[in-house]
Structure 1
Amino acid sequence: MSTDTTGRRSDATRAAILEAARRRFAAEGFAKATIRAIAADAEIDPSMVMRYYGSKDGLFAAAVDIDLRLPDLGAADPETLGEVLLQHFLDLWEHPANGGTLLTLLRSAVTDEATAVRFRRVFGEQVAPAVLRFAEPADAERRAGLVASQLLGLALCRHVLRLPPVVAMSQAQLVADVGPVIQRYLSSPPASC
């Protein structure tokens, strides 16, 4: 068998494992999902999961690795930054390829400290630097934290708790109602407390 054929089969096996892991972690969370169940879903032997990912933690890290692909906020109208950022996050959450990964992270972060650490890493490496472009360095972390609280709170209510009035809102309604709040977090003068 050629190396090319072996490489393609290896890539296909990895992809099948990751897809099965994403589904299983999304449905059951990190703690309940097992390597055996994930392997069964991928129709492979559990030893193959360990071969490719080393451990359940390694598999989870690969399954929830996410690049938020934040838009270039420097190119946006400064008066609409909140709307642009919110629309981007709504698109991420509601796109099947990303939404499942984000949902898995959100659900698991509530009960698993290792997942919460991953969430904080995504925040620190992707969200905070984007906000830093619009805020004084001493105030950027606070502002980024407020933006994240709004975005994650909305995701929790819409996709995990599934609060009927929040689920019923269109993306345009959410952007109109919540975008200005995020805009305020990004651009208002610092409070003098």
Structure 2
Amino acid sequence: MSSPSHDAILQSARRLFGERGYRGVTVRDIAADAGISAALVMKLFLSKEKLFAAAQPDESLLTDLDVPTSELGRALVFRVLMRRERGTQEPWAMIPFAVQDAPDPETARSEIRERYLTAVARVIGDTSPGRRKAATVIALMTGFGETFRTLGLFDHWEFDDLVAHFGAIIQAQIDAVAPPAPTP
């Protein structure tokens, strides 16, 4: 069960870890940003490592999409752009940080990889060996989220044009998923 303090800590942790990485943030930084004491952070999360784990990108950003599969690419891109406009955390952009800067990068890589592959494959219906189309969608969305945030490659695009253009690229991978063979 979460509380306002718990939620404030996670929000601050996600933003700060996303901006500075694990090693660049202290529990005191997070506490100050959340407007609470470092002691409360430790009481609720027990350690910086456990807080980092709790603040990782969440594949649930896929579960509440209420659009037909034929519009999923546009919906995913639209959400990245809306989070950017609102100045909120971009989960796709945080994936590289979550792995590279984790206290145990290999474990983080394995866990995040499996969570995202499972979630994306389920949403797009990818049952192929290695979930190749799901992997491609993840790569495209992670690249889009990170380059949009870091490099500003699309800053001069019109919002709707970018949704249509990049959404079509993502959608092509989603549409390429072969429908499952009918059971006899």
User: Under a length normalisation based on structure 1, what TM-score does the superposition of the two structures give?
Assistant: 0.70
Say if 1:182 and 1:55 are closer, same or farther in 2 by CA, change over 3 A.
same
2:157 matched to 1:169?
Answer: yes
Partner of 1:130: 123
> Out of 26, 29, 44, which is 1:34 matched to?
26
Distance in 2, matches of 1:119 and 1:93, equals 22
- Which residue identity lines up with residue 112 of structure 2 in the other structure? F
Partner of 1:120: 113
Partner of 1:64: 56
| Aligned residues: CA RMSD | 3.2
Gaps (5+ residues) in structure 2? 179-184
Deviations 1:70-120 (A, max 9, x none): 4245x35x3x44334433444355443443x55444434344425544532
8 Å contact from structure 1 (residues 68, 126) kept in 2: no
Say if 1:47 and 1:19 are closer, same or farther in 2 by CA, change over 3 A.
same
> Out of 3, 10, 19, which is 1:11 matched to?
3
- Which residue identity lines up with residue 144 of structure 2 in the other structure? L
Partner of 1:91: 82
Partner of 2:181: none
Gaps (5+ residues) in structure 1? 1-9
Distance in 2, matches of 1:33 and 1:180, equals 37
Say if 1:141 and 1:42 are closer, same or farther in 2 by CA, change over 3 A.
same
8 Å contact from structure 2 (residues 94, 146) kept in 1: no
Partner of 2:138: 148
2:176 matched to 1:185?
Answer: no
Say if 1:87 and 1:42 are closer, same or farther in 2 by CA, change over 3 A.
closer
User: Under a length normalisation based on structure 2, what TM-score does the superposition of the two structures give?
Assistant: 0.72
Percent identity, please.
28
8 Å contact from structure 1 (residues 35, 49) kept in 2: yes
- Which residue identity lines up with residue 96 of structure 1 in the other structure? G
Q: What's the CA shift for 1:31?
A: 1.9
- Which residue identity lines up with residue 152 of structure 2 in the other structure? R
Distance in 1, matches of 2:5 and 2:158, equals 38
Say if 1:98 and 1:154 are closer, same or farther in 2 by CA, change over 3 A.
same
Partner of 1:22: 14
8 Å contact from structure 2 (residues 137, 173) kept in 1: yes
Aligned length: 173
Deviations 1:108-139 (A, max 9, x none): 4344425544532441342121121xx4x225
Partner of 1:3: none
8 Å contact from structure 1 (residues 39, 45) kept in 2: yes
SS state at 2:61 partner: coil
Which of structures 1 and 2 has the bigger CA Rg?
A: 1
Distance in 1, matches of 2:9 and 2:72, equals 38
